[in-house]
Structure 1
Amino acid sequence: MLRRAIAASALAFCVFAACALPATAYVPPPLAALSHDVRTIARQLHAAIGLDVLDLDTGYTAGFNASKSMPTASTIKVPVMVEVFDQLEAGRFDLNRRVELTSSDKDYGSGDLCDAPAGETFSVEQLLAKMIDISDNTATNMLIRLVGRRSINAKMGELGLERTHLTQDVRTDDWAIRRALRTSAGDLVHLLALMAHGELVDEWSSKEMIGLLEADQINTLLPAPLPEDIPIAHKTGSLADTLNDAGIVYAADAPYVIAVMTTALPSKDLGRAFIHTISRLAYTDEMQSARWRTQATPVTNDASPDVPYWDAGTPTPSPTPFPRR
Structure 2
Amino acid sequence: MDLEKSLSAILQEAKGAWGVVVKELAVQNGAYFAHRPDELFIAESVIKVPIMAAVYAACEQGKARIDAQLALRKEDLVGGSGFLYALSPGLKLSIRDLVTLMIIQSDNTATNMLIDLVGKEQIDRTMREVGMERSRYSRKLMIYPQDVTENNMITAGDVARMLEQIACGGRFSRWASADMIAIMQKQQVLNGLPSQLPSRSGEDGQAAWELACKSGWDTGRQHDVGILSVQGRQFAIAALSQDVRAEAALHTLGLLGRAVYDFAVA
Q: TM exceeds 0.5?
A: yes
Decide whether the 8 Å contact of 2:165 with 2:172 is kept in 1: no
Secondary structure, counterpart of 1:245 in structure 2: strand
Contact 2:15-2:249 at 8 Å conserved across structures: no
CA contact (8 A) 1:171 1:177 kept: no
> 5 Å matches for 1:99-118?
99-118=70-89
More strand per residue: 2
Letter in 2 for 1:90: Q
2:27 maps to 1:49: no
Cα deviation for residue 60 of structure 1 reads: 3.1
Structure with higher Rg: it is 1
2:98 aligns to what?
Answer: 127
Q: Does the 8 A contact of 1:199 with 1:206 survive in 2?
A: no
TM-aligned CA deviation for residue 212 of structure 1: 0.5
The answer to which of 211-220 and 245-254 deviates more is: 245-254
Alignment match, 2:36:
65
* Alpha-carbon distance between aligned partners in 1 of 2:220 and 2:236, rounded to the nearest angstrom: 24
* 1:172-183 matches, cutoff 5 A: 179-183=150-154
2:40, 2:81 → 1: CA distance? 24
Name the structure 2 match of 1:170: 141
- Per-residue CA deviation, residues 151-183 of structure 1 (Å, 9 max, x unaligned), is 10121112221122111101187xx99942111
Residues 72, 178 of structure 1: 8 Å contact kept? no
The one-letter code matched in structure 1 to 2:243 is A
* Corresponding residue number in structure 1 for 2:206: none
- Does the Cα contact within 8 Å between 1:107 and 1:137 map onto a contact in 2? yes
Q: In structure 2, the residue corresponding to 1:187 is in which secondary structure?
A: helix
Does residue 257 of structure 1 match 2:228?
no
In 1, distance between residues paired with 2:15 and 2:21? 18
TM-superposition CA deviations, 1:16-46 (whole Å, max 9, x none) = x6xxxxxxxxxxxxxxx23224344324334
Secondary structure, aligned partner of 1:180: coil
Equivalence for 2:249: 271
Aligned with 2:219 (options 240, 245, 266): 240
Post-superposition Cα deviations, 1:209-237, rounded to whole Å, max 9, x if no partner, equal 01000011111111111122311111111
Does the CA-based 8 Å contact 1:153-1:164 persist in structure 2? no
Output the amino acid matched with 1:250.
Answer: S
In structure 2, the gaps of 5 or more residues are 201-208
Partner of 1:287: 265
Alignment of 1:76-95 (within 5 A): 76-95=47-66
Query: What letter is aligned with 2:7?
Result: V
Which residue identity does 2:22 align to in structure 1? V
Which residue number corresponds to residue 205 of structure 2? Answer: none
Residues 172/269 of structure 1: CA separation in 2 closer, same or farther (3 Å cut): farther
Confirm or deny that 1:231 pairs with 2:210. yes
CA distance in 2, matches of 1:234, 1:131: 12
CA distance in 2, matches of 1:96, 1:282: 36
Question: Secondary structure, in 3 states, of the residue corresponding to 2:21?
Answer: strand
State the secondary structure of the residue aligned to 1:215.
coil
Amino acid in the other structure paired with 1:247: G
